[in-house]
A and B are shown apart, each in its own frame.
Chain A
Amino acid sequence: MIRTLTATAATALTLAAMPAQAELKIGSIIELSGPGAAAGTNFRDGVRMGFEEINAAGGVLGEPVAITEYDSQTDPQVSRAMVQKAIDDGVVAITGTVFSSSTVVNMLVAKQAGIPQFTGSEAPSITAMNNPYIFRTAFGSQKGVPKMARYMAEEMGVKKVAVVWANTEFGKGGHESFLKEAGNYGFEIVADLPTEQAQTDFSADVVKLKGIQADAAFVYLTEEESARFLREARKQGVTLPLVGETTLIGHKVIELAGDAANGAMGHVGLTPDANIPAMTEMVERFKAKFNYTPDHNAIKGYTAAHTLKCVTEMVGEADSQAIADKMHGLTLTVAECPGVLMDVSWDETGEMSRESFFVEVQDGKQVVKAILPPN
């Protein structure tokens, strides 16, 4: 009897002495359905793989990380509710969302609760709203578009440009950034063609584009829309150079558009085809795990997980405020945080900066034509 009581007491004391499990609770709020599903699924899998590797290596501050996933349905109001739910569930930080129209809405909830949020969105407005809790995992278009416009002007000799853009928060951001750069580089905008979110038929838009005399078209649509647009452009025999951001020449777009993606070019912040060993290895592990080639959104999610790990260990505790404070003005190098894959910095607004690439799709692969310095 005494032996049993002793054993029970010993077990109880041992359990009490053990640190609480899953101290770092992360909310992964992403587009798993609706028009953003392609981007959201990649981002989700990147976050998953990142934290699984982190847990396998001992977790963060010796504790395992617990991720809870929430589907935003690519609906801003649902995404807002999901962010609130994650906060109610006690998360330390949030990853996602990817679609800017959702992020501009849900980031206010995270801000109010003082929870750092690592978004995959690229609309300039996101880091222009004085929110100390938002951090990008990819360039805002106000960072990426100037690099691309400069390449168009200086390397391609473009003078007249047609602009095809998604009439969404994401698309408006890219559109405004490009118009600003067009002013800087003296581009003449010969056509300005807005399209709808989740548009399926681009025949009319391509007909309009064909009737225009331009040196190039700047195409700023989401991945699936880009793939449909490229297929339609090929179908109608468009020969104009099509230039865009990551969403025009990403791997998912190449998979969906097939041969029609060949010849498209643009700026990418992250590419599995960059000759960077850490990124190549990450991509191989991802392909082995999920059985598809990741795009830049997966890399965003992966680097978000590792950024969170490194910053939490830097501050020494899983404290939301401390993590957010540390992020401002932070530079993470690959030497000190290998999971970020490339040296990266965040400014006081949560905007990020690092090297990026100008690529052209050739034979179904991104071929890096130039490495563009941080701006």
Chain B
Amino acid sequence: MAELIQILISGLAAGSIYALAAVGFTLLWQASQTINFAQGEFVMLPAFFVLVGMGLGLPMWPAIGFSLLLSLLILGVAFKKLVVEPMLPHGTLPLVIATIALGLLMKESVKEFYGATAQPFPAIFPQKVYHFAGASVSAQDIGNLIVSMLAIGGLQLFLNRTRTGRCMQASAQNPAVAEILGVDVKRMVMYTFLINAALATIASVLISPIYLAKFSNGETLGLVAFIAAIVGGFNQIRGALVGGLLIGVIDNLSAVYVSAEYRSAMPLILLIAIILLRPQGLLGTKEGRAV
């Protein structure tokens, strides 16, 4: 029982970070039909911004603020203006290819400028271990889970309870009608990109003490987040949340009770099952699309 509690908490903690990245996938898709295959690298990069900030002499928390600022500018504004806006008129596929190229560029740039080896990354939570029902639960796992849930919960509240949030939803659902109703659709889409950059920064700061900061971290994270978004439902934020948590828990459960060798196959098996049985995802809604 203690072992199961431990596995569930570790799985939920990891899964909540996957969920942050997966929510970014769904946000960009809804706002601009952008499938961002550089999403994993979006989570990898802010950790290096933090390290750069600390290298410049900033303490950890100001360095995280510095990273957030750079992420908003580079992963939010510059990404939208320099990649998405020029490519979007040419259709979804060229944009997908552009994001793959962007991911490679980011990865290789970090490798070139910061090195190929992993870097230690400071933990933002104390290295304490709490004992609960025979299980040892770390402050880091609890902290990761709480921060991720607060970020996603806050985003849901923002989207549902504020005028700007509802305008963003309207822009995502029907940009033409939203524009007629006086919504500044371009600004709403920009907000979406900024939110994605902020979520990526949070995910990066939470996961890098575990993964260590390394240029190739995005490979794993991007794939897992993409699977989580599809499993949960690509057009629903709560779907991405459930997908992320589910992948985290299944990954840990399968590593302990099924096979450590085939653990990485489990999310893919889940993905295949979802595509076959419920293509819109667990919490997603069916969308008609004219071709």
Which A residues lie at the B interface, using CB under 8 A? Answer: 32-35, 37-38, 40-41, 167, 193-196, 198, 200-201, 203-205, 207-208, 210-211, 224, 227-228, 231-232, 234-237, 252, 255-259
By a CB distance below 8 angstroms, the chain A residues around B264 are 196
| Closest A residue by C-beta to B14 | A201
Give A162 Cβ to nearest chain B Cβ, in Å. 13
Q: How far is the CA of A203 from the CA of B144 in the complex (A)?
A: 14
Q: How far is the CA of A208 from the CA of B253 in the complex (A)?
A: 11
Q: Which of B90-120 contact A (CB under 8 A)?
A: 111, 115-120
Q: How far is the CA of A196 from the CA of B210 in the complex (A)?
A: 16
A204 touches B263 (CB 8 A): yes
By a CB distance below 8 angstroms, the chain A residues around B141 are 235
Known: A196-B260, A201-B252, A224-B117. 11 other contacts (CB 8 A): A34-B216, A41-B115, A193-B260, A200-B217, A204-B263, A208-B256, A224-B118, A224-B212, A228-B212, A237-B136, A257-B120
Take A34-B216, A207-B6, A236-B138 as given contacts and tell me if A194 and B211 are in contact as well, using a CB distance cutoff of 8 Å.
no
B115 touches A207 (CB 8 A): no
A237 touches B129 (CB 8 A): yes
A259 touches B127 (CB 8 A): yes
Give A157 Cβ to nearest chain B Cβ, in Å. 26
B210 touches A201 (CB 8 A): yes
Q: Does B228 contact A (CB under 8 A)?
A: no
Q: How far is the CA of A238 from the CA of B212 in the complex (A)?
A: 20
Q: How far is the CA of A194 from the CA of B255 in the complex (A)?
A: 10
A41 touches B117 (CB 8 A): yes
Give A89 Cβ to nearest chain B Cβ, in Å. 23
A256 touches B251 (CB 8 A): no
By a CB distance below 8 angstroms, the chain B residues around A235 are 127, 129, 138, 140-141
Take A33-B111, A193-B260 as given contacts and tell me if A256 and B136 are in contact as well, using a CB distance cutoff of 8 Å.
no
Question: How many A-B Cβ pairs are below 8 Å?
Answer: 99
Q: How far is the CA of A259 from the CA of B255 in the complex (A)?
A: 27
Q: How far is the CA of A287 from the CA of B90 in the complex (A)?
A: 51
Q: Does B214 contact A (CB under 8 A)?
A: yes
Contact pattern, B 201-234, Cβ under 8 Å of A = 1, otherwise 0: 0000000011110111100100000000000000
Q: How far is the CA of A200 from the CA of B222 in the complex (A)?
A: 14
| Closest A residue by C-beta to B139 | A235
Chain A to chain B contacts (Cβ below 8 Å), 20 pairs: A33-B116, A33-B216, A34-B216, A35-B216, A38-B118, A41-B115, A196-B260, A196-B261, A201-B252, A204-B256, A204-B263, A205-B255, A227-B118, A231-B209, A235-B140, A236-B6, A236-B136, A236-B138, A237-B138, A256-B119
B211 touches A204 (CB 8 A): no
A204 touches B129 (CB 8 A): no
A210 touches B136 (CB 8 A): yes
A252 touches B117 (CB 8 A): yes
Take A201-B251, A204-B7, A235-B141 as given contacts and tell me if A37 and B116 are in contact as well, using a CB distance cutoff of 8 Å.
yes
Q: How far is the CA of A256 from the CA of B217 in the complex (A)?
A: 15
By a CB distance below 8 angstroms, the chain A residues around B136 are 210, 236-237
Give A232 Cβ to nearest chain B Cβ, in Å. 7
By a CB distance below 8 angstroms, the chain A residues around B261 are 167, 194, 196
By a CB distance below 8 angstroms, the chain A residues around B140 are 235
Q: Does B3 contact A (CB under 8 A)?
A: yes
